[in-house]
Structure 1
Amino acid sequence: MSIERRTFLLALAASAALYGCGRKSEPVASAVATPATPGFEPITVKHKLGTTTLQQRPQRVAALEMNEADFLDQLGVPIAGMVKDFVPHFLAKYKDDAQVQDLGAIVQPNLERVHALHPDLVLITPLQANHYQELSEIAPTLHFDVDFGNSQSGHFDVVKDHLLTLGRIFGKEDVARAKADELDAKVQAARRTTTGRPEKALIVLHNNGAFSSFGVRSRYGFVFNALGVQPASTAVETSLHGQPISSEFIQQADPDILYVVDRTAVMDRRPVIDAAQVSNPLLRQTKAWKNGRVVFVDADAWYTTGACLSALKIVVDDVLKGYQG
């Protein structure tokens, strides 16, 4: 290994260790000196971590999060490399595709592999924000300004804005606009179902037998705000994994509809649980249980992603299942 290569790897390791200890990256400009592509007007995008300028249309894109991979897939943009530790079923074709380089894990991408890929655009979300400065030294890096802790306000607008931005970057404006309109139509159709309905719902995360609750100010706040679902609990929490609760809490909240997100299914890579696996006397007392309105949702869409086109369409469909029957 050359001295230059060894020095580069040591620098990456030192940077990763520093940011892993909690240091937040300051907003910086992300632009790598590359010659402008003839006929391509430079595009500058401002985001929460800084400003990203593209002098040419990207040809080798690295997606360091599953939501970003889905945006590219929906737009028909080739993916040069992506993280592959938790690939949702609707992106399964990329998992074993040798032409798509494995860039490590969602929360800890392999920066050496990213560098070796020689990308001309890197796409990240807040889950990789602490690597923004290092990634920006490799290639222009664009941050998706989605709030995974509190999606109460503007979740769908943020998703559509990012989609349209990527459409502009890749010359896919018409496709992006059509996809955004499809999502709008699906949301409006869902609201026509939920508007005026008296049912109240509770969203809980299942994790190895324990439960957490998600209310109006949480990663699933958009379900209550944008989709018009009435909350069964007024508890406030803004963490990624919700507020730990007991079966007594669920029984006392007595939701008409209970949505269950099975995190264990994602982490253990196994099928989502069913009613028999979580049934207990307290849960069986709820209106949701008595009326058969316990919905075991698509864990990939709700937990692994939740901020891309494929996931949000599935989420809307899952939400509407609670209003059937």
Structure 2
Amino acid sequence: MSLPRTSHTSLRPLAWVSLPVAATLALTGCGGGGQDGTGEAEASETRAVEHARGESEVPVDPRRVVVLEPVQLDTSVALGVIPVGTTVLNEAAGVPGYLGEEAAGIESVGTVPEPNLERIAALEPDLILGTETRHSALYDQLASIAPTVFMASQADPWAENVQLVARALGDEEGATTLLDDYEERCAEVAETHGTEDSTAQLIRPRDEVLTLYGPTSFAGSTLECAGFTTPEHDWEDISLDISPERVLDAQADLVLVTATDVDAPDAVPDAIRDNGDAFPELHVVDRSFWITGVGPLGGMTVLDDIDRILSAAE
């Protein structure tokens, strides 16, 4: 199985540490030993997992996992390990709905760029999953709470990050099955709709720019896996920001615009709406899984959405 590689992106490491953290860690027993749901210390076998910070001894069967990255949340849920805590992209929006009812009750431990150490420690995790590019400054403190495994970057090939999460959870076979199923679904969509000679472009409207997602992004790679080709651009890592005046640079056979509310009257930016003739096949898609649904479940949800869109257009 081969998925497109994604180049690294440079993000500013988190540098804050709130003052009450040390006291919280002391009160919750921050020596890194896992505890069961009753709060009683549990002796557990461990195994070594190599990751971006070296090697960590993690429980053979982690039960109280905290995840700090969307791909870690998606993969854990897909493998049947429901985390006790997760960061979210937006505290108000919470855990993405596409992950289902089981995930809806996962406790928030802050946002992806700013995890809350007190909340994490209070959950008494036996395994923490994070990311070097986002959480580097917090590694030592996280590792003092529980064994901690870091991905190198959230912009690395998402399938490789899925495999790392699975290794940390002790279910590499499960990850292989999930990724194989994803590729089979890609092939099915491509064959059903004859996408081989078509281009597709995902656009995410932001305040003053339009972000185009390239072939190595999560959504872009899924479109390519489903047979589409992404129009050529000078990609800045996984994406490219253009001004609204350059909107015609986003043309493709299939153009997808992300929105928080796909039915909102202003979901399509004026720059695109005013050039409607240049975008005959334009569709608004749900940002919660097209952008933040990184992982096997998100990938399958995006593929289902592509299938729905293409079926409706035929």
Question: Which residue, out of 132, 136, 161, partners 2:143?
Answer: 136
Q: Does 1:68 align with 2:72?
A: yes
Question: Which residue, out of 118, 121, 136, partners 1:115?
Answer: 121
CA contact (8 A) 2:82 2:103 kept: no
CA contact (8 A) 1:163 1:180 kept: no
Structure 1 vs Structure 2: percent identity of aligned residues? 21
The 3 A distance-change label for structure 1 pair 211 and 53 is: same
Partner of 1:285: 277
* Range 57-66 or range 193-202, more displaced: 193-202
Higher relative contact order (CA 8 A, sep 6+): 2
Aligned-pair CA distance for 1:108: 0.7
Q: 2: distance between equivalents of 1:62 and 1:203?
A: 31
Question: Which residue, out of 278, 281, 297, partners 1:310?
Answer: 297
Please give the residue correspondences for 1:205-224 in structure 2 after superposition, counting only pairs within 5 Å. 205-208=204-207, 210-218=209-217, 220-223=219-222
Q: 2: distance between equivalents of 1:137 and 1:244?
A: 43
Q: Which amino acid letter does the alignment assign opposite residue 312 of structure 1?
A: G
| Structure 1 gap segments, 5+ residues each | 13-30
The 3 A distance-change label for structure 1 pair 59 and 323 is: closer
For the aligned residues, what is the CA RMSD?
3.6
Partner of 2:3: none
Partner of 1:26: none
Q: Which amino acid letter does the alignment assign opposite residue 97 of structure 2?
A: H
Paired residue total: 278
Please give the residue correspondences for 1:205-244 in structure 2 after superposition, counting only pairs within 5 Å. 205-208=204-207, 210-218=209-217, 220-223=219-222, 225-238=224-237, 242-244=240-242
- TM-score normalized by structure 2? 0.72
Partner of 2:22: 8
Q: Which amino acid letter does the alignment assign opposite residue 117 of structure 1?
A: L
Q: 1: distance between equivalents of 2:273 and 2:79?
A: 48
- TM-score normalized by structure 1? 0.70
3-state SS, counterpart of residue 95 of structure 2: coil
Aligned-pair CA distance for 1:233: 3.7
The 3 A distance-change label for structure 1 pair 250 and 194 is: farther
The 3 A distance-change label for structure 1 pair 245 and 317 is: farther
Please give the residue correspondences for 1:172-321 in structure 2 after superposition, counting only pairs within 5 Å. 172=171, 175-192=174-191, 197-208=196-207, 210-218=209-217, 220-223=219-222, 225-238=224-237, 242-246=240-244, 248-262=245-259, 265=260, 270-271=261-262, 273=264, 277-278=268-269, 282-286=274-278, 288-289=279-280, 293-306=281-294, 308-321=295-308
| Structure 2 gap segments, 5+ residues each | 1-18, 35-40
3-state SS, counterpart of residue 110 of structure 2: coil
Aligned-pair CA distance for 1:60: 1.6
Q: 1: distance between equivalents of 2:174 and 2:249?
A: 47
Question: Which residue, out of 67, 83, 86, partners 2:87?
Answer: 83
Q: Does 1:127 align with 2:125?
A: no
The 3 A distance-change label for structure 1 pair 318 and 128 is: farther
Q: 1: distance between equivalents of 2:175 and 2:238?
A: 31
